[in-house]
């Protein structure tokens, strides 16, 4: 059963009394043929329906049109025509007398109407008939019906001039099944009405702020509040700064009665610099009262902000609070439970039975409600992440010992955790707000309300408590508790106070269909949802008075229909997209923000949920105060050409365009000649789910850091951080846990070898096997490349050294472990999250793969691959590692030497690993061309045989050769002999693999000559 609003409790008695006399059709004694014009009706008469009016109850259930006392629009009046809600498909008609319209001139229908409980709206409509006045005749046609309605008196104007010279009936039709209720008052049908068009323009001023290079749009809405068509045109002129940045589409309109049109304003910063620009829009129309409307336009272009988006959960959840220092966030997933996020350890699941989490202190202590096993009842308490244990408040002396399943519940906590507010249950179904502190114990703040009450929270400094109370004229009405008093925001309206600024200066919430923001100085200022036709829900307020929350774009207001908003201190209501755009978030237009639920006192860190630019539902922090390094490397690739025996140096710039120090370390991987130095794409795979996969996780014994076994000549492939948790199959069995390293990450290591794998093992499995797969799709691995069982050691990191190192081709590899374990064990280690899309793959059979995050475990599997880089000597970097200050750069010397090089083209990749979270790896390809020596002709006579060679090379030399060198395809020197005073030389090739090699002949003067030879074994 849906919950009805307060006004229905007042109307039910009237409705019940009317139901005592149900009738299928109610009419007056006046003849249907009576002709009237004009018609004016305020429903203040003693009888209902008024004379010559008719009421038809087509559904026959008994609920029909009636007069409603004490609810009307007429000044100094008392009644209106009213149709209440009821079960079943209601179809009620209120029909005017027959009206004989004049043959010419104005004919206008004007009436006021009010929709009660618009969230349950069925349908309101107005119909007209030029035949019979009985709806059953089928002569009525629809004139008007609104898609959206509001709980306020609104006037509707309908032009009936097309029916001039005819006799007509007008009907007000109510439809709904346990839906809304509809009141109609002050009906007028006549010709004494100003039918002139009336222009309405919103907003009255257009403000646009965006980072440079971002094209943005705004909407200018123009509507006709009059009867006759509104015809208008739009012009604009630039009034400040450069020109050419504004376009408007369309540049005019022709709107009928009640018509509206949105005009798109496009702001294009092409060719502009940072700064402020202005323009003026002139709207000229045939509105005789307002023929010209001027709309100022202000455009500000600013630098893109240094901001960080942190994904807390790869799903749509409800983050309920962020600590004042921004270090912790407490999260409620839809469906229940609780999570705690920390910068240090990522996500932790909060244990409990039917628990609810509401707040988090600066030290990470969570305030919430959980089952207290001592009393076997739900009680307010603290959860401590350090011990992962709950502690509970003492018993409330006013409430006594627990007697039921619910004793009290937590609804908020001060920033330091010293004060908790909540709801206390009493015998007899009574519930009241309380405030508790360790110093003062329980305070019955609910005693200030005549009925039940509940807080929704407390300001960070503990000065203001906000929530709702049952008041005489409205249940669940917004209230504020401060200084031993309870302030009523709007005693006649339902609603709640949902948020307070950190110091308690501002309180925000909703009252009826409106939002409000309250201060001690101004009281409550109410505002409506002007962004869409749905409800508005303020849920946070900043220290400058900016209100945050969400609207509902439709009914029912399901979570995915929510859209985040910001109401600025000057009263302007904008989407949250526009708000973060004005803060310099360049990708704001690529987001869909569902809601914004909290903000730190400095106004920089926002928590909420939405759809990110990749199209994924996420729960996030947006941090405009983040200290973020941002790497940029120039040039993007390096080439050099040298003669043998030469050397050179080029400069590479590592730039930091961020606002925090950039830490970097460089690696060099020498490439095999002829190998591709580009990523290899794989087919996009299908998302898969194994409905039998049943996982669970548990914390491990602490912060288990992996061993540091990297050196200058190797590199660690991984997504995970330190070990925090572990997971396993609830019933036990066989499970595969893997990380995918795509070609975009691995191509730079072509020719290198995977030497070992590190993984954290928590509980001891029955069997553990390392498996490495090649490229498949984006969601499934390909061919098995390596299988190696190992003896797992529990509660520690395990290093599995490959029996045979695996050569990397630069294509995708998947590294995983197949565990077989008993029920109740947590074998595979996890970090604290959030999960990288490639770092959390799990499967029961090795064929159907899915993400741990999809199963609610938002973390990366502790799997790391150690890559041995291909060695070489012709390239070096100085410095090889360093720190670049914010908004600075550092030059790195890229040194080339060809002292032992032979003619040919050589390649390498410089891999720069940094603390730039968005670009952790940067690859700079390097190409070296070792050119031919200038005096090579005498060496053309050198003979080398046999071809191909199997065990040795026979070489017939010429005079002046000092040495002979043999290089493999990586440019590595594998053999060298001195040849002074000899013209015949044998070179052993035992131990060398099959392939193409290069012989280099070095003359006494340093000149060289190269020749390719083939070795075949």
The average confidence (pLDDT) of the chain is 90
Q: Cis (ω within 30 of 0) for the bond into 38?
A: yes
* Residue listed under structure tokens 């004009």: 38
Please list the residues that pair with 340 across neighbouring strands: 330, 348
The bridge status of strand 154-159 relative to strand 199-202 is unpaired
Report CA-CA distances (Å) from 37 to 42, 75, 85, 166, 193. 16, 23, 32, 11, 13
Whether the Cβ atoms of residue 995 and residue 969 lie closer than 8 Å to each other:
yes
* Rounded mean pLDDT, 421-446: 95
For the purposes of burial, counting CB atoms within 10 Å of the CB of 432, is it exposed (0-12), middle (13-18) or buried (19 or more)? buried
pLDDT at 557: 63
Look up the pTM and report it.
0.69
**pLDDT tens for each residue of 356-383:** 999 999 999 999 999 999 999 999 999 9
For the chain, list the domains and their CATH numbers.
Answer: 6-190 (2.60.120.200), 199-302 (2.60.40.10), 332-554 (2.120.10.30), 631-672+871-930 (2.60.40.10), 695-868 (2.60.120), 937-1015 (2.60.40.1930)
**pLDDT tens for each residue of 605-664:** 999 999 999 898 999 999 998 888 999 999 899 988 888 888 999 999 999 988 899 999
* Rounded mean pLDDT, 917-928: 92
**pLDDT tens for each residue of 969-991:** 777 888 999 987 888 899 999 98
Q: Where are the alpha helices (DSSP H) in 622-688?
A: none
| Three-state DSSP string of 427-485 | HHHCEEEEEEECCCEEECHHHHCCCCEEEEEECCCCCCEEEEEEECCEEEEEEEEECCE
For the purposes of burial, counting CB atoms within 10 Å of the CB of 492, is it exposed (0-12), middle (13-18) or buried (19 or more)? middle
Q: Give the start-end residues of each E strand in 616-750.
A: 617-623, 631-634, 638-642, 647-656, 662-671, 695-704, 714-717, 723-729, 733-741
**Tokens, residue 362:** 């600066």
Cβ neighbours, 10 Å, residue 973: 14
* Rounded mean pLDDT, 207-213: 92
Please list the residues that pair with 905 across neighbouring strands: 929
Question: Of all residues in the chain, what percent carry a pLDDT higher than 70?
Answer: 93
Rg (alpha carbons) of the chain, rounded to whole number: 38
Nearest CA among 666, 679, 665, 664 for reference residue 631: 664
* Rounded mean pLDDT, 174-180: 95
Give the SS3 label for residue 561: helix
Weakest-pLDDT range from 89-98, 99-108, 253-262, 679-688: 679-688
CA distance 38 to 19: 33
């Amino acid at each position: 059963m849906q919950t009805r609003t307060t006004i229905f409790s007042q109307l039910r008695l009237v409705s019940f009394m009317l139901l005592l006399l149900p009738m299928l059709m109610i009419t007056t004694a006046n003849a249907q043929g009576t002709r009237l014009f004009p018609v004016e009706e305020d429903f203040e008469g003693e009888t209902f329906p008024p004379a010559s009016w008719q009421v038809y109850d087509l559904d026959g259930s008994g609920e029909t049109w009636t007069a409603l006392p004490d609810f009307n629009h007429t000044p100094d009046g008392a009644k209106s025509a009213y149709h209440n809600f009821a079960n079943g498909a209601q179809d009620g008609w209120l029909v005017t007398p027959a009206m004989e319209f004049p043959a010419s001139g104005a004919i206008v229908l004007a009436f006021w109407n009010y929709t009660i409980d618009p969230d349950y709206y069925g349908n309101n409509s107005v119909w007209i008939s030029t035949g019979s006045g009985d709806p059953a005749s089928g002569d009525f046609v629809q004139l008007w019906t609104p898609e959206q309605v509001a709980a306020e008196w609104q006037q509707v104007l309908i032009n009936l001039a097309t029916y001039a010279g005819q006799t007509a009936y007008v009907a007000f039709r109510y439809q709904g099944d346990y839906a809304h209720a509809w009141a109609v008052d002050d009906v007028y049908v006549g010709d004494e009405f100003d039918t002139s068009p009336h222009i309405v323009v919103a907003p009255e001023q257009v403000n646009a702020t965006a980072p440079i290079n971002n094209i943005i749009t705004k909407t200018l809405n123009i509507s006709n509040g009059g009867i006759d068509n509104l015809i208008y045109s739009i012009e604009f002129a630039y009034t400040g700064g450069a020109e050419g940045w504004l376009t408007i589409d369309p540049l005019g309109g022709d709107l009928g009665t009640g018509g509206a049109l949105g005009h798109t304003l496009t702001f294009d910063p092409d060719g502009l610099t940072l700064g402020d620009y202005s323009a003026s829009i002139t709207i000229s129309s045939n509105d005789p009262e307002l023929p010209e409307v001027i709309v100022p336009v202000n455009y500000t272009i600013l630098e893109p902000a240094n901001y960080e988006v942190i994904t807390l959960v790869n799903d749509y959840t409800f983050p309920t609070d962020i600590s004042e220092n921004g270090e912790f966030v407490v999260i409620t997933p839809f469906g229940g439970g609780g999570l705690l996020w920390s910068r240090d350890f990522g996500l932790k699941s909060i244990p409990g039975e039917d628990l609810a989490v509401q707040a988090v202190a600066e030290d990470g202590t969570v305030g919430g409600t959980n089952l207290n096993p001592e009393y076997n009842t739900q009680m307010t308490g603290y959860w401590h992440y350090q011990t992962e244990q709950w502690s509970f408040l003492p018993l409330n002396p006013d409430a006594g010992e627990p007697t039921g399943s619910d004793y009290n519940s937590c609804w908020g906590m001060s920033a330091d955790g010293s004060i908790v507010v909540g709801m206390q249950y009493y015998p007899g179904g009574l519930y009241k707000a309380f405030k508790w502190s360790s110093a003062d114990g329980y305070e019955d703040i609910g005693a200030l309300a005549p009925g039940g009450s509940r807080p929704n929270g407390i300001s960070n400094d503990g000065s203001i408590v906000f929530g709702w109370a049952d008041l005489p004229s409205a249940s669940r009405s917004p209230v504020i508790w401060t200084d031993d008093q309870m302030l009523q925001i709007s005693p006649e309206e339902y609603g709640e106070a949902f948020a307070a600024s950190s110091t308690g200066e501002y309180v925000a919430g909703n009252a009826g269909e409106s939002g409000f923001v309250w201060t001690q100085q101004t009281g409550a200022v109410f505002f409506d949802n002007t962004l869409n036709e749905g409800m508005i829900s303020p849920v946070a307020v900043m220290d400058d008075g900016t209100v945050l929350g969400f609207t509902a774009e439709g009914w029912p207001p399901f979570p995915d229909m929510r859209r985040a908003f910001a109401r600025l201190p000057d009263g302007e209501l904008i989407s949250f997209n526009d708000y973060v755009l004005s803060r310099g978030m360049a990708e704001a237009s690529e987001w869909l923000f569902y809601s914004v639920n909290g903000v730190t006192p400095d106004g920089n860190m926002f928590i909420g949920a939405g759809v990110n630019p990749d199209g994924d539902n996420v729960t996030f922090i947006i941090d405009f105060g983040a200290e973020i390094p941002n790497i940029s490397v120039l040039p993007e690739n390096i080439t050099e050409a040298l003669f043998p025996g030469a050397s050179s140096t080029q400069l590479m710039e590592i730039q930091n365009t961020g606002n925090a120090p950039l830490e970097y370390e460089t690696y060099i991987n020498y490439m095999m000649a002829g190998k591709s130095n580009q990523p290899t794409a794989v087919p996009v795979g299908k998302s898969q789910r194994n409905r039998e996969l049943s996982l669970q996780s548990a914390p491990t014994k602490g912060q288990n850091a992996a061993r540091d076994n990297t050196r200058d000549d190797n590199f660690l492939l991984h997504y995970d951080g330190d070990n925090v948790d572990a997971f396993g199959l609830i019933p036990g069995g066989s499970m595969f846990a893997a990380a995918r390293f795509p070609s975009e990450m691995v191509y730079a290591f072509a020719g290198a070898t995977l030497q070992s794998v590190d993984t954290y093992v928590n509980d001891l499995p029955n069997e553990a096997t390392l498996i490495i797969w090649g490229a498949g799709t984006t969601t499934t691995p390909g061919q098995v490349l390596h299988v190696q069982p190992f003896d797992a050691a529990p509660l520690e990191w395990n290093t599995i050294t490959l029996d045979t190192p695996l050569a990397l081709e630069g294509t995708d590899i998947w590294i995983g472990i197949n565990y077989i374990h008993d029920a109740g064990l947590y074998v595979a280690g996890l970090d604290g999250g959030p999960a990288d899309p490639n770092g959390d793959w799990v499967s029961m059979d090795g064929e159907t793969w899915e993400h741990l995050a999809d199963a609610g475990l938002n973390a990366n599997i502790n799997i790391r691959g150690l890559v041995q880089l291909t060695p070489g000597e012709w390239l070096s970097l100085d410095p090889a590692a360093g720190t670049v200050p914010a908004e600075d750069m550092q030059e790195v010397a890229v040194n080339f030497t060809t002292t032992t090089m032979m003619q040919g083209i050589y390649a390498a990749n410089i891999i720069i690993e940094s603390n730039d979270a968005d670009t952790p790896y940067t690859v700079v390809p390097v190409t070296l061309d070792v050119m031919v020596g200038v005096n090579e002709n005498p060496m053309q006579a050198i003979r080398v045989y046999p071809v191909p060679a199997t065990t040795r090379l026979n070489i017939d030399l010429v005079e002046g050769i000092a040495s002979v060198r043999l290089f493999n395809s990586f440019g590595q020197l594998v053999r060298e002999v001195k040849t002074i005073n000899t013209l015949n030389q044998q070179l052993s090739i035992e131990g060398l693999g099959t392939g193409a090699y290069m012989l280099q002949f070095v003359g006494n003067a340093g000149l060289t000559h190269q020749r390719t030879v083939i070795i075949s074994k």
